[in-house]
Amino acid sequence: MSAIDLVPAALVHAELLAGMHRICFADPWSVRSMAEVLAMPGTEGLIAVDDDAGPAGLALWRNILDEAEILTIAVLPPWRRAGLGGRLLSAAMTGARSRGAAHMFLEAAADNTAALALYHRHGFRRTGTRKGYYAGVDAVTMGCDLSIKA
Ligand SMILES: CC(C)(COP(=O)(O)OP(=O)(O)OC[C@H]1O[C@@H](n2cnc3c(N)ncnc32)[C@H](O)[C@@H]1OP(=O)(O)O)[C@@H](O)C(=O)NCCC(=O)NCCS
């Protein structure tokens, strides 16, 4: 069985990350948008790399003082339902906590059952709704107290 490592994402990975985004999202970020996000102060990220097959997933988050926001998280279809999304999310939470974040927040489309279940499983709870945020689909906002999540 192959191993999957989580390696830090940097600006040089913008094209690779945008390529993965294209596979995972109906409205993916362009290479330029990805590069802009990676260049924002406080942005950190991880790329999951399968040592046999290459890039398998990504997570980007942003640290802002004592808060952190998940910017995007995705796992390529062949690697789904094997715990990689959870691994990336846990690593993002640990990374943000190590930078002093006490709270993490995110948003997801209200019809994205996989993402909502993943977040709930990792301690995120619903904090609100943004009506029609994603081309007519509501966004669910969620938050997690990092101080009580090991
Ligand atoms: C959401 C996503 C990152 C989950 O990645 P993953 O590697 O499959 O997640 P995991 O295997 O770690 O799943 C952890 C838990 O999340 C939940 N979950 C994941 N996929 C699910 C699905 N399709 N349906 C229901 N629950 C799901 C389950 O509770 C699962 O635990 P279980 O497999 O023991 O039941 C992946 O489906 C994905 O990349 N989707 C497209 C991009 C996306 O929507 N990103 C989130 C944007 S907000």
Q: How far is the CA of 124 from the centre of ligand 1 (A)?
A: 14
Largest CA distance in the chain: 44
**Residue 81 in contact with ligand 1 by CB distance below 6 A:** yes
| Confidence (pLDDT) at 145 | 97
Residue 105 is assigned to a structural domain of this protein: yes
Asked if 15 and 53 touch (Cβ cutoff 8 Å), the reply is: no
pLDDT digits (tens, 9 = 90+) for 58-100: 999 999 999 999 999 999 999 999 999 999 999 999 999 999 9
**CA 61 remoteness from chain centre:** 6
Count: domains in the chain: 1
pLDDT digits (tens, 9 = 90+) for 89-128: 999 999 999 999 999 999 999 999 999 999 999 999 999 9
| Confidence (pLDDT) at 87 | 98
Concatenate the DSSP letters of all residues of 1-45 into one string: ---EEEEE--GGGHHHHHHHHHHH-SSPPPHHHHHHHHHSTTEEE
Q: How far is the CA of 117 from the centre of ligand 1 (A)?
A: 7
**Which one, of 88, 85, 44, lies nearest residue 62 by Cα?**
44
CATH number of the domain where residue 99 is located: 3.40.630.30
